Amino acid sequence: MDVVFVLYDQMTALDIVGPYETLAGHHDVQPLFAAAQVGPVRCDNGLTLHADVGFDDLSTADVLVVPGSSRWLRALDDEQLIAWLAAISPTATWTAAVCTGSTLLAKAGLLTGRPATTHWAVRDALAAHGADVRTERVVVDGDVITAAGVSAGIDMALTLAAILWDEWTAQAIQLALEYDPRPPFDSGSVDKAPADIVAALRNAFTSG
């Protein structure tokens, strides 16, 4: 099973690394990192990942995983990336997006009229591109699965693992990761965080 992890300049590392660590260790999975061209791809906070294959050399995928970016407005203007997503997604059994990655799928015309989630700060932008925006942490609709902000990519990948294999396998992966979050603060949701923090982050995200 080819699981293609999409890389592009200024993407958010955890959006792709979380799902990668969740899915790539399964014996059925052949992980591939794809980008516009083979070589290093720099993430928005400086981490560099490496693309194994270029977009032009990859025309199909069994599973497609699309990360978001704190600079998502810039990514929306990447015509090569958007066109490639529009072309390859129909070949995939599953297309998954994390955080603002769902805005890329929407720009590619893949979420029109379909329920999807994204980072809370860009829900309006996702709706403007035709999606039926939901607030759940993970949304499954047909062959598309979307996750809310950054850390929700792990939840999304565990949900996908249960679909691809079974719940026992997904739970085993969760235990192997020791994914049992107990955050020190109760501010991980826009509904619970202090208003001044919400305002500051909304401004940061919507300014691209």
- Token pair for residue 142? 């047909």
Q: Give the Cα separation of 108 and 95 in Å (integer).
A: 12
* Separation of CA 102 from chain center: 7
Q: Annotated catalytic, 99? A: yes
Classify the phi-psi angles of 164: left when phi > 0, otherwise alpha if psi is within -120 to 50, otherwise beta. Answer: alpha
Sign of CA dihedral 88, 144, 181, 126: positive
How far are the Cα atoms of 30, 181, 192, 195 from residue 187, in angstroms, in the given order?
Answer: 36, 13, 5, 10
* Catalytic residue from among 17, 81, 96, 99: 99
Residues noted as catalytic: 99
